[in-house]
Every structure is written in structure tokens, then in C-alpha cells.
Amino acid sequence: MAMNVSLQAVHPIEAPPPLTNNTPPPLLMNDFEGMPGTCGGLLLRFCQFVFAVISLVVMGTTSDFPSVTAFRYLVAAVSLQSLWSILLAAVDIYALLVKRSLRNPRVVSFFTFGDGITSTLTFAAACASAGITVLIGNDLNLCDINHCTKFESATAMAFMSWFLVIPSFLLNFWSLASKSSP
Amino acid sequence: MAMNVSLQAVHPIEAPPPLTNNTPPPLLMNDFEGMPGTCGGLLLRFCQFVFAVISLVVMGTTSDFPSVTAFRYLVAAVSLQSLWSILLAAVDIYALLVKRSLRNPRVVSFFTFGDGITSTLTFAAACASAGITVLIGNDLNLCDINHCTKFESATAMAFMSWFLVIPSFLLNFWSLASKSSP
């Protein structure tokens, strides 16, 4: 006791430890739901995967999709999208299980780049298929000899999948930009 | 001389002014070419406008574009894109002339939102037109009774316009995210 009092008398101001404890580390500020390594992010990835796979299966069960380039492209794009989403979902599950944060700028920029590429490809394929589906159904009225309903369903599922990749992409890009700011 | 020496003796440490001069204001750090209010940004806007107008004119000069929904949609989308780009180009010219910075977060978020909407619409229209152009040209081989070259040119110009909106969108989004970071 006497020892403590004499030490405090020697060093009256002991400021540094409280200061470093009060300032929050800025890198941990922007860690909200939907980003990789969170439950929201995993849910987004899983839904992307499910919609992409439904689109793939529905388009694959039509007999005449290989005759139209845009439908072949849709099959390729949603295949890539489903592979990318299930891969990222696995990474998210790993991060959640070992309680590891995926806040590394290099990892986040890789995820952002991949999300940007796959979402652009999926959206382009969905738009091309939608254009052709509308051409067949509304402009030419050829739905009685074509699988219009299946084409429309596959297109809609591809749009849903794209719609769910956009939050992932924007959140990753946001976290990347706010991390590299001064 | 004697006065100065006595003042320095009274206040031996005069740190605050150099400190505030040395720390740069963080809001002015992220002001690089291509953002609104810079020459690069104006050039981007102008090129977006030119490509969108070329696409509009080329598609408008084909006689049968109203018979296909996707081509009508392309005309609407590139019209909107050209209006948006020329409006933002005018804002950029104003900002350059009065030497005013467009770093206001509300303004930047409005530009980001508008860029996101118009680029998505232009890209969707370009993809739908590309799907139909490829269907007509490659899958059905009907180029001899259709204006395939004009359709292809209009689609390519719309893609070029979209390609030039993306840097504007990403730069605005980046500046928005890095500004609102802690």
C-alpha cells in the first residue's frame, strides 16, 4: 500500500493507458450485417446461389434453349454465378465457424471484383433473355410453339439472383473505400 | 530583437499553429480526376452524351425499330442517358467556371444514385438489344431482311455509353464512402 502511494506520487499523471483504451480502432467500425463473414452475408450468398440454380435448372429443362445464343449465355452466366456464390458462402461459413473477420483489404477487393464481374454477367444474360422472351411472347406472339413460361421463369430467377448480388457488391465496395480513406 | 527573445522565453513551446498547418484537411484528400467538378469528369460526361446520342440517332433512323420492344426500350434508355449526361456536364462546366468544388455529400449521393439508375437502364437496354441482334443475325440468319448493321451499331454505342458511366458511378460512390467513414 505504502509502495503504491509513493509510486503515484512519483508519476502523478498516468494518462496514456486510458487514452489508448478510449479511442476505438477505426478498422472495426464498418463491420455491419451483409458483409462477408457475417450471418447476413451468408444469407445473401445462399439466396444468390438458390436463385441462380433455379434459373439454371428451369432453363436447362427446356429442350430448345441451345438454339438461342442468349439462352445459352444465360445458362453459362448463372452457372458461374452459382459457383461463385456457393464458394463465397463456404468462405463465410468458415469465417463464422472460426470467428475470423474477413476485413483484410486484399480479400475484400477480391470479393468486390468477383461480385462486380459475376453480377454484370448475370444481369447482362438476364436482360438478353428478357429481350428475347418479350420478342417471342409480345412482339411475335409465338408462345404457343415455345416454352415462354419456362423462359420467363428462368429470366426472372436470374434477375432475382442479380438483385441479391448487388448488396454484396455495394457493401464490399463501401467497406473497401471507407477503409482506404485517410 | 530583445522583445522577441523575451516572448520566446515566456512561451518556450509554440506548437499549435504548425500542428494545424501540417495535418491536411481529410475532406480535400479524395478530389482526383473524373469526379464531378473536374476536367476529367466533364470529359467523361461529354463522351457519355455523345455515344448515347449516336445510339439514339442510329436506332431512330431504322424504320422498323418500333416493332421490337427491346429496341423501343433502347431508344428510351439512351434518351434518358443523354439527358442525364448533358445535365451533369452542364453542372461540371458551371463548377469549373466558378471554381466551385462539388464535394457536398448530398450532391455526390444524388449524382451516385442518378448514375446508378441510368447506367443500369442503359446496360439493360444494350443487353436486350444485343440478345435480339444476335438472335436475328446468328441464330435465325435474317440479316438480309433486317437492318442488322444499324441495330449492331446502336447497341455498341449504348454499350460504350454505359462503359463510360461506370467510372463516374464508381468514383462518386468511392468518394461518398470514403467521406462518410470515421
- Which residue from B81, B137, B70, B164 is spatially nearest to A126, judged by alpha carbons? B70
Cross-chain residue pair A30–B127, CB shorter than 8 Å: no
**Assigned domain for B75 exists:** yes
In whole angstroms, give the CA distance from residue A58 to residue A152.
10
Q: Which residue has the cell 473536374?
A: B38
Given a cut of 80, whether residue B149 has pLDDT beyond it is yes
B48 versus B142: the higher-pLDDT residue is: B48
**Closest chain B CA to residue A72:** B131
A34-80: per-residue pLDDT in tens?
778 888 889 999 999 999 999 999 999 998 888 888 999 999 999 99
User: Is residue B168 within 8 Å of B48, Cβ to Cβ?
Assistant: yes
**Assigned domain for B8 exists:** no
Does B170 contact chain A (CB < 8 Å)? yes
The total of other beta-carbon atoms located within 10 Å of residue A8's CB is: 9
In whole angstroms, give the CA distance from residue A152 to residue A55.
10
Chain B residues closer than 8 Å to A139 by CB? 67-69
Cross-chain residue pair A29–B131, CB shorter than 8 Å: no
Given a cut of 60, whether residue A168 has pLDDT beyond it is yes
**Closest chain A CA to residue B163:** A120
Residue A70: which of B30, B134, B170 has the nearest Cβ? B134
Given a cut of 80, whether residue A24 has pLDDT beyond it is no
**Assigned domain for A171 exists:** yes
pLDDT value for A60: 92
**A23-32, A53-62, B122-131, range with the lowest pLDDT:** A23-32
Query: Cβ neighbours of residue A46 under 8 Å, at least 6 residues apart?
Result: A85, A89
Q: Which residue has the cell 428475347?
A: A132
The CA R_g of chain A, rounded to the nearest whole Å, is 25
**Assigned domain for A5 exists:** no
**pTM, to two decimals:** 0.77
Q: How many domains does chain B have?
A: 1
**Assigned domain for A2 exists:** no
- Which residue from B118, B182, B130, B120 is spatially nearest to B157, judged by alpha carbons? B130
Residue A24's H or E segment, with its range, is none
- Strands in chain B per DSSP E: none
pLDDT value for A176: 84
The interface predicted TM-score of the complex, written ipTM, equals 0.74
Average pLDDT over residues A145-171: 92
Domain that holds residue B74: 33-179
Query: Cβ neighbours of residue B40 under 8 Å, at least 6 residues apart?
Result: B33, B34
End-to-end CA, chain A: 46
- Which residue from A173, A180, A3, A165 is spatially nearest to A77, judged by alpha carbons? A165
Cross-chain residue pair A67–B139, CB shorter than 8 Å: yes
**What are the DSSP calls for A169-182, one per residue?**
HHHHHHHHHHHS--
**What are the DSSP calls for A24-37, one per residue?**
PPGGGTS--TTSTT
- Which residue from B46, B44, B38 is spatially nearest to B169, judged by alpha carbons? B44
**Assigned domain for A19 exists:** no
**Which grid coordinates belong to A26?**
477505426
In whole angstroms, give the CA distance from residue A146 to residue A148.
6
**Assigned domain for A25 exists:** no
Given a cut of 50, whether residue A6 has pLDDT beyond it is no
**Closest chain A CA to residue B182:** A26
In whole angstroms, give the CA distance from residue B89 to residue A170.
26
A21 residue type, one letter: N
**Assigned domain for A27 exists:** no
**What are the DSSP calls for B82-100, one per residue?**
HHHHHHHHHHHHHHHHTT-
